[in-house]
Amino acid sequence: VWLADNGYFKRESVHPEIKEGVDGEGISTPSPAGNGVTTGHNAPPAGQGATSGRRNSVITAAERNANFFKHRQQARAFFMGGGSRNDGEDEETKLARELANAEKFHSVFQFGSMQYAFMETIGSGVVKVLRQGQTNSAATVKIVTSDGTAKAGKAYGQKEEIMEFAAGETEKDCPIQIIHDDEWNQDLDFYVELQTVEKSTKLGRMAKTCCTIIDMDSPGVFSWLSEEPQYFLSSDSRALLVLERRKGCKGVVSIRVKSEDANGKAGEHFLPIDQV
């Protein structure tokens, strides 16, 4: 398609680049023999003399082959990402490409994690802000909190401020007040977001993070971290299961973990466990 749009197949049923004496638009040129006879279907009628068309030099087969492969390489580069089109590119690849380009000319800010969790009694939680790309000059970024199930002033301290990064500085800690009450609550969430304040700065993928406040006034609820069935290969030396404590973590508690047979049999397919 790219070659056709650029006229490389005009008035020729085969690739013009591999035909001696024919230029890119089918215009005839002198033959190498220099006998006054033109080649190509645009040659003048007999007796009218030879013409060089739009060129005065002889176009040899070797030169046309070189041009042909050059055009093909250009077309390949055009469709493999070297051109302006990116048809079929998924959003993740597109975002990665745009961020890579942005880092060449801008400071790119994002959080160190997509999610943070703080004990209700911690007093002050810390989220980390990272700076990538161009860091040879000072830059600023705005940080703003917003409510989720946690409400500003009741569960956490609202924040809206400008963070200043000196030249060469690549990370900063942002403290956020966590408010403790003596009542039992479910775990609460709020959000922290980065916003640009300068044209020379850009935001990375993790420009917004979720912060969870873990209630300390309840012993908690225990469950496996994954609610879906977990699969392991027979070649695995062990299966790793993560036990999660949610909705409070007050005091020291004990919980018993015991395995039971299903299709897999203890001693044959796995080693049984029964422990606290």
pLDDT tens by residue, 216-264: 777 788 888 887 888 888 777 888 888 888 877 777 888 999 999 999 8
> Tens of pLDDT along 156-203?
999 999 999 999 999 999 999 999 887 777 889 999 999 999 888 989
Residue 219: what pLDDT? 78
Higher-pLDDT residue of 77, 50? 77
DSSP state of 17: G
In the predicted model, is pLDDT for residue 214 greater than 70?
yes
* Band of pLDDT at residue 42, cut at 50, 70 and 90: very low
Helix H or strand E encompassing 95: helix 91-105
Nearest to 109 by CA among 210, 195, 234: 195
List, in sequence order, every residue forming a beta bridge with 167; answer none if it has no partner: none
Model pLDDT, residue 60: 58
> What one-letter code names the amino acid at 216?
M
Give me the percent of the chain exceeding a pLDDT of 70.
62
* The pLDDT value given to residue 85: 44
Helix (H) / strand (E) element for 130: namely: strand 124-133
Length of the chain measured in residues: 276
pTM for this structure? 0.49
Report pLDDT digits (tens) over 147-156.
999 999 999 9
Whether the per-residue pLDDT at 90 is higher than 70: the answer is no
Dihedral (CA of 21, 22, 24, 27) sign: positive
